[in-house]
């Protein structure tokens, strides 16, 4: 729904909530303005409430845009999320159900968001789950090609590295790699798997990695140039 507030068009959605005692206004990233109303509250009274609170709404919307513009966010200002180097439109629908649901299809990432849940938290949790699926598949394929057998895959969010490989054969990867292009994910995975054969960064090690990924340096360069940005995204 659309309303004009002090000359600006503002989109909003209405959410009926059984537990709500009074009308509440929320401004959320990607969802924009959400009006939570008690179950039997007449929806036709909503526009006048928005007009009464126009100043406040516009101030919060502006503040949110500033935050989105200055800090890299998991959700960008145009309402997309990064996945494998692409911008995927995010479709957020408020729901009265208590359950969050996230579904990825060919066009967008759909989220049914219960009242009072935090969109960024929901998205980060989804990234972690999705990272496990995507990385497990890649690790399986590359392990076969390299001829190693990792025993475990751990998904984390380490501050200083993208991946690691333990002497026991556990491969740990940052879920944030999911934001990077697929070739970059492959580079980190191949790098860690090669450590199962060479536990160092000797010329021998790099030769091994390069024998599998001849364009290794372009992939490393991407990570060096964009890594900080991926790490900071909240
Ligand atoms: Zn290494």
Q: Does residue 115 sit within a domain?
A: no
Q: Does residue 27 sit within a domain?
A: yes
126 alpha carbon to ligand 1 midpoint, in Å?
27
In angstroms, what is the span from residue 168 Cα to ligand 1's centroid?
A: 15
Give pLDDT, residue 207. 97
When mean pLDDT is compared across 13-22, 58-67, 223-232, the lowest value belongs to: 58-67
Q: Does one domain contain both 128 and 62? A: no
Ligand 1 centroid to residue 174 C-alpha, Å: 14
Note whether 104 and 130 are within 8 A (CB): yes
* Domain interval for residue 175: 124-232
The domain tally of the chain equals 2
CA 162 / ligand 1 centre spacing (Å): 10
- 63 and 158, same structural domain? no
**Which of 39, 54, 70 lies at the terminal end of a domain, its last residue?**
70
**Distance from residue 73's CA to the centre of ligand 1 (Å):** 28
* % of the chain exceeding 90 in pLDDT: 64
**CA of 159 relative to ligand 1 center, distance in Å:** 15
Give 137: exposed, middle or buried? Use CB within 10 Å, 0-12, 13-18, 19+. Answer: exposed
Q: What is the pLDDT of residue 65?
A: 65
Distance CA 88, CA 108 (A): 5
CATH label of the domain that carries residue 194: 3.30.2010.10
Looking at residue 125, its pLDDT comes to: 93
**How many angstroms does the Cα of residue 234 sit away from the middle of ligand 1?**
26
Q: Is residue 96, in this structure, part of any structural domain at all?
A: no
* 59 Cα to the center of ligand 1, angstroms: 47
Which has the minimum average pLDDT: 26-35, 108-117, 143-152?
26-35
Residue 140 belongs to a domain: yes
Centre of ligand 1 to C-alpha 171, Å, is 11
The CA distance from 72 to 143, in Å, is 33
The pLDDT value recorded for residue 155 is: 96
Average pLDDT over residues 43-72: 79
- Mean pLDDT, the chain, rounded, equals 89
How far apart are the CA of 213 and the centre of ligand 1, in A?
15
Q: Kindly tell me if the per-residue pLDDT of 70 is higher than 60.
A: no
Domain boundary among 26, 50, 70: 70
* Average pLDDT, integer, range 58-68: 71
pLDDT of residue 209: 97
Residues 39 and 132 in one domain: no
Residue 19 maps to a domain: yes
For residue 79, being part of any structural domain is answered with: no
Edge to edge, the sheet with strand 86-94 lists: 80-83, 86-94, 109-113, 101-104
141 lies in the same domain as 216: yes
Judge if pTM exceeds 0.85: no
Let me know whether 57 and 147 are in one domain. Answer: no
pLDDT tens for each residue of 137-147? 999 999 999 99
Contact indicator for 31, 75 with CB cutoff of 8 Å: no
Q: Is the pLDDT of residue 67 over 60?
A: no
Does residue 96 contact residue 112 with C-beta atoms inside 8 Å? no
Considering the domain architecture, whether residues 131 and 58 belong to the same structural domain is answered as no
Q: How far is the CA of 131 from the centre of ligand 1 (A)?
A: 20
Tell me how crowded residue 192 is: count the other CB atoms within 10 A of its CB. Answer: 23
Shared domain check, 219 and 146: yes
| Across 191-219, average pLDDT | 96
Quickly state the pLDDT bin for 115 (edges 50, 70, 90): confident
Mean pLDDT, to the nearest integer, of 34-43? Answer: 93
């Amino acid at each position: 729904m659309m309303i004009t507030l002090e000359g600006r068009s503002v989109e909003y959605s209405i959410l009926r909530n059984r537990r709500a005692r009074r009308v509440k206004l929320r401004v959320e990233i990607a969802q924009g303005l959400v009006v939570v109303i008690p179950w039997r509250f007449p929806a036709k009274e909503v526009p006048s409430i928005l007009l009464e609170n126009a100043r406040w709404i516009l101030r919060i919307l502006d503040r949110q845009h500033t935050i989105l513009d200055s800090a890299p966010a998991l959700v960008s200002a145009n309402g997309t999320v990064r996945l494998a180097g692409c911008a995927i439109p995010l479709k957020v629908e408020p729901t009265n159900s208590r359950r969050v649901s996230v579904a990825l299809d060919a066009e967008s990432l759909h989220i049914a968001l219960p009242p009072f849940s935090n969109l960024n938290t929901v998205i980060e949790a989804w990234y972690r789950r999705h990272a496990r699926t995507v990385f497990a598949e890649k690790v399986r394929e590359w392990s076969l090609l390299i001829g190693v057998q990792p025993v475990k895959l751990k998904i984390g969010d380490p501050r200083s590295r993208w991946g690691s490989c333990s002497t026991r054969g556990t491969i740990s990867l940052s879920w944030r790699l999911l934001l990077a292009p697929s070739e970059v994910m492959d580079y980190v995975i191949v790098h860690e798997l090669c450590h199962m054969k060479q536990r160092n960064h000797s010329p021998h090690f790099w030769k091994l990695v390069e024998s599998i990924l001849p364009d290794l340096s372009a992939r490393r360069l991407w990570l060096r140039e964009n890594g900080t940005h991926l790490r900071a995204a909240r």
